[in-house]
Amino acid sequence: MPTFYGKEIASRLMLGTAQYPSPAILADAFRRSDAGIATVSVRREAGGEKAGQDFWALIQDLGVAVLPNTAGCHSVREAITTAQMARELFDTNWIKLEVIGHADTLQPDPFGLVEAAAQLTDDGFEVFPYCTEDLVLCERLVQVGCKVLMPWGAPIGTGLGLNNIYGLRSLRAHFPEISLVVDAGLGLPSQAAHAIELGYDAVLLNTAVAKAGDPAAMAEGFARAVEAGALAAEADPMEPRDMAAPSTPVLGKAFL
Amino acid sequence: MSDAFTILGGGVCGLAMAAELSSRGAQVTIFDPKGAPGEHACSWWAGGMLAPDCEGVSAEPEVVRQGRKAADWWERHGAEVSRKGTLVVALGRDQSELTTFARRAPNARSLDRKAINALEPHLADHFAKALFIEEEAHLDPRATLATVHARLPQNGVSFVNEIKGQIIDCRGLVASDTLADLRGVKGEMLVVLCKDVSLSRPVRLLHPRFPLYIVPRGDGVFILGATQIESGERNRATLRSVMELMNAAYALHPAFGEAELLEIGVDARPAFPDNQPRIRHLNDRIYANGLFRHGFLLAPALACMTADLVLEGKTPEVWYEDHRER
């Protein structure tokens, strides 16, 4: 099971908490997914005096680890302020760091991300950076102290799946000691299974579950998929080959 | 149970409750220190769409079933209901939103540009495809609240500061002082004046990030709504929310860029965890609450169920919880 900053989590599935038809359906989805971590957006719900406290109480009732995020932040300064607010609200050093660089695709800003990750790490945070699958960016993030990397599969909310399998595979190969999570872009359980088969420690998703017609059923679908992917990854799968190899030998077949 | 009732709260829930009970002969008093309907009630800021099928795309089936009764009920109680259906559109690259919506709203009919032109000529230049839900309706929330409020005295309803008989608590979010599982869901909306666009029915613009509805109020006035944020804040519209609503309206029709901004509204809707309303019998009081974003859509059904309960002893089939000490 995956370990993030020394804390072992009993599930390879992390779920976001936005966009569900209701908090009751959100809670159902968590129950059926057995997700170990809930990500929560701090920025949008924050406001006056504890304005979102009812919703946060619902999240805390889920009984899973909370990973606050800096969703919607477009600059280093915004992201850092939001992270500090999150630490106070949720009493955790964990922060899923998003620094958005492009308003339309919500693509991470790699330069701002490294800068914010460095400052937050210095300030005692344990940073989960939402990044692209760029190897050099990931190296920089690790150099400034990140022990978790969260490359995207595809842009947030698109459901396009794993767009650069080569890139994701090479991250796994280059960072054997780092916990890797595919974050964003997943639409179907089969894509989540694929990510785990590649050796990823976990997947994080939100829209695919929240916007499904039956979110709780989709959550369970993803739960089974990551389990299947993990079994496959541990089972030492065969290598693909071009030459057909019959599983039943033809020679010596009984003549009828 | 006596047939004298004091209703706490004069928003859409309380007024519908008073109208239903008094029309069945009950003696009703409304207690609301804020007086006549106004901006203190979140129903003041409502879109006024009676759109059960559209809501059913993300709401529970019971919301759809109960919501179908709304248009007739409001008309019976004096409201002017416009039955012209709902038009649903999406921008070019968001066509998949339309596909999903059509799958989840079985009563939606596909329209081509020609058919759009016949319904809403001002949108035909911008949209080649749309969905149409013909059975849906809309009303003007402020005019409706005023009409219902003005008609109540004819049925013997009085507005006084005394409480007699059975209390029916319709205070919306204020009742979260006793209802621990009631939360606020913040909404921001705009009222604009735009003489260059003419629409005859509510239009919904589907968008993965900034969905929008526009409801025409006549004389060039339009309601643009609404955000949905998990927060009990009842004030403080943010620049981001207002900008997103404006952008979406501009994307629907560029002429909205020239619209005059008349009002920025903000309030919080009362909601239970499953976003469905409840009739709750707690201690000696009956609570009718949790209408969420479905005030005008579900207040009639909630009022009828409550009246069945208190006047005829009929236990409502749905949304009823008895928490009395036994």
Whether B116 is covered by a domain: the verdict is: yes
pLDDT at B326 over 60: no
Contact check, Cβ <8 Å, A47/B233: yes
Residues B30 and B142 both lie in one domain? yes
| Domain stop point among B228, B250, B271 | B271
| Burial profile A181-210: b = 16 or more Cβ within 10 angstroms, e = fewer | bbbbbbbebebbbbbbbbbbbbbbbbbbbb
Q: How many Å is the Cα radius of gyration of chain B?
A: 20
CB-based contact, B278 to chain A, within 8 Å: no
pLDDT at B85 over 90: yes
| Per-residue pLDDT at B218 | 93
| Per-residue pLDDT at A252 | 63
CB-based contact, B29 to chain A, within 8 Å: no
Whether B178 is covered by a domain: the verdict is: no
Each residue of B43-68: pLDDT tens digit? 999 999 999 999 999 999 999 999 99
Set of chain A residues whose Cβ sits within 8 Å of the Cβ of B60: 21-22
Residues B126 and B215 both lie in one domain? yes
Residues B192 and B266 both lie in one domain? yes
Q: Using alpha carbons, list the distances in angstroms from residue B218 to B18, B59, B82, B193, B197.
A: 29, 29, 11, 10, 11
Residues B192 and B260 both lie in one domain? yes
| Per-residue pLDDT at B208 | 86
CB-based contact, A216 to chain B, within 8 Å: no
Å from A41 to nearest chain B CA? 11
pLDDT at B1 over 80: no
- Which domain range does residue B106 map to? 86-134+183-271
Q: Is A253 a catalytic residue?
A: no
CB-based contact, A24 to chain B, within 8 Å: yes
- Which of A17, A20, A22, A74 to probe by mutation at the B interface, max B CB count within 10 Å? A22
Residues B92 and B75 both lie in one domain? no
Percent of chain A scored above 70 by pLDDT?
93
Each residue of A24-43: pLDDT tens digit? 999 999 999 999 999 998 86
The mean pLDDT of B136-147, rounded to a whole number, is: 96
Determine the residue of chain B that is closest to A40 in CA distance.
Answer: B230
Residues B208 and B264 both lie in one domain? yes
Q: Which residues of chain A have pLDDT under 70?
A: 43-51, 248-256
What CATH number has the domain bearing residue B126?
Answer: 3.30.9.10
Q: Using alpha carbons, list the distances in angstroms from residue B83 to B36, B70, B138, B273.
A: 27, 12, 7, 31
Residues B98 and B237 both lie in one domain? yes
Q: Using alpha carbons, list the distances in angstroms from residue B13 to A4, A76, B35, B291.
A: 48, 46, 15, 8
C-alpha to C-alpha distance for A243 and A241, rounded to whole angstroms:
6
What CATH number has the domain bearing residue B318?
Answer: 3.50.50.60
Whether B162 is covered by a domain: the verdict is: yes
Residues B238 and B277 both lie in one domain? no
Residues B116 and B236 both lie in one domain? yes
Whether B177 is covered by a domain: the verdict is: no
Got the DSSP string for B35-104?
Answer: -SS-TTSGGGG---EE-HHHHHTTS-HHHHHHHTTHHHHHHHTT--EE---EEEEE-GGGHHHHHHHHHH
Whether B310 is covered by a domain: the verdict is: yes
Contact check, Cβ <8 Å, A55/B59: no
Q: Is B51 exposed, middle or buried (0-12, 13-18, 19+ CB in 10 A)?
A: buried
Å from B214 to nearest chain A CA? 21
Residues B197 and B291 both lie in one domain? no
Residues B168 and B262 both lie in one domain? no
Whether B191 is covered by a domain: the verdict is: yes
Please tell me the total count of domains within chain B. 2
CA angle at B137 for the pair B120 and B92, rounded to the nearest 5°: 40
Whether B250 is covered by a domain: the verdict is: yes
pLDDT at B274 over 90: yes
- Which of B231, B269, B278 to probe by mutation at the A interface, max A CB count within 10 Å? B231
- Reading phi first (left if > 0) and then psi (alpha if -120 to 50, else beta), residue B38 is in beta
ipTM of predicted assembly, 2 dp: 0.86
| Per-residue pLDDT at A225 | 97
Under the banding of pLDDT at 50, 70 and 90, the label for residue B277 is very high
Whether B224 is covered by a domain: the verdict is: yes
Q: Against a cut of 0.90, is the pTM above it? A: no
Got the DSSP string for chain A?
Answer: --EETTEE-S-SEEEE-SS-S-HHHHHHHHHHHT-SEEEEE-TTT--STTTTHHHHHHHHHT-SEEEEE-TT--SHHHHHHHHHHHHHHH--SEEEE--B--TTT--B-HHHHHHHHHHHHHTT-EEEEEE-S-HHHHHHHHHTT-SEEEE-SSSTT-----S-HHHHHHHHHH-TTSEEEEES---SHHHHHHHHHTT-SEEEESHHHHTSSSHHHHHHHHHHHHHHHHHHHHT-PPPP-SS---SS--TTPPP-
Set of chain A residues whose Cβ sits within 8 Å of the Cβ of B229: 44-45
Structural contact between residues A74 and A99, judged by C-beta atoms closer than 8 angstroms: yes
Residues B261 and B200 both lie in one domain? yes
C-alpha to C-alpha distance for A151 and A171, rounded to whole angstroms:
9
The mean pLDDT of B142-155, rounded to a whole number, is: 95
